[in-house]
Structure 1
Amino acid sequence: MKMLAEKLILDYLSKVLPDILVTLETSTDSNYVLIERVGGLESDGVARVSFAIQSYGKTLLEACALNDRVKSAMRNIINLNPVSKVDLDSDYNWTDETTKKYRYQAVYDLVLFL
């Protein structure tokens, strides 16, 4: 069975950020990281996938600091076997106006060999 890109990132970030909840679903925790696949395609055993990684914090500063930790961790995901490329498209404050939760979002493009 091939590795799901979502599971790869979930497992990796959970390991390198052991003190933070890393999830694929929203949480009631104050500080956590939410992984959301926002695009991708697969051809000839190569997957090109895009992810939005959202860092939530109790304060705007906590969300910003968590986003920096995520970016630092994602720089090293290139060392995982199926990952051949990782690019940070953008990162920015994206506070949720509906829920009034502070968050930053970093958008990544990855290339994986399946």
Structure 2
Amino acid sequence: MIELVVKEFLDNNLNIPVLLEKEQKLTGKFVLLEKTGGTSRNQLHSATVAVQSYADSLYEAALLNQEIKNVMSNLIEVENVSGVHLNSDYNFTDTETKQYRYQAVFDINYC
């Protein structure tokens, strides 16, 4: 599962919690991963992964988002990952919980 590969990579490169599922009422800085789509052809796989950066202020969420983009550019160094491309990133503040967050979406090629 590419989500586990990305989680382990981010765990090793960030000093904040990296989650696959959001815990209720979690606050502070943390990252939430979600695979939003993918394809496979001739044993070559592609996944779209959203990385949400949560923080206590919009500024801190934007800084964390930038750090995520910098770190994710090195995911290519992981065995079986053949490409990492930033699809988009944007302010994605959660209007329901009023938590500040940014989201960076990556297209990842792997085998």
Q: TM-score range by the shorter chain?
A: over 0.9
2: CA distance between counterparts of 1:80 and 1:100? Answer: 35
CA offset at residue 42 of structure 1?
1.8
User: Secondary structure of the equivalent of 1:111?
Assistant: strand
CA offset at residue 44 of structure 1?
2.2
Amino acid at match of 1:66: L
Unmatched 5+ stretches in structure 1: none
Give the 4+ runs in structure 1 shifted more than 4 A: none
Deviations, residues 30-70 of structure 1 (Å, cap 9, x unaligned): 11000000000122221110011000000001101110110
1: CA distance between counterparts of 2:96 and 2:27? Answer: 17
2:53 corresponds in structure 1 to: 55
Deviation larger for 103-112 or 41-50: 41-50
Match for 1:24 among 13, 20, 23? 20
- Given the alignment of the two structures, is residue 12 of structure 1 paired with residue 3 of structure 2, yes or no? no
Count, aligned residues:
109
Amino acid at match of 1:13: L
Amino acid at match of 2:103: Q
2: CA distance between counterparts of 1:44 and 1:22? Answer: 31
User: Secondary structure of the equivalent of 1:30?
Assistant: coil
Amino acid at match of 1:42: S
Give the alignment's Cα RMSD to 1 decimal.
Answer: 0.8
Unmatched 5+ stretches in structure 2: none
Deviations, residues 53-107 of structure 1 (Å, cap 9, x unaligned): 0000000011011101100000100111111011101101110101100000000
- State the identity as a percent: 40
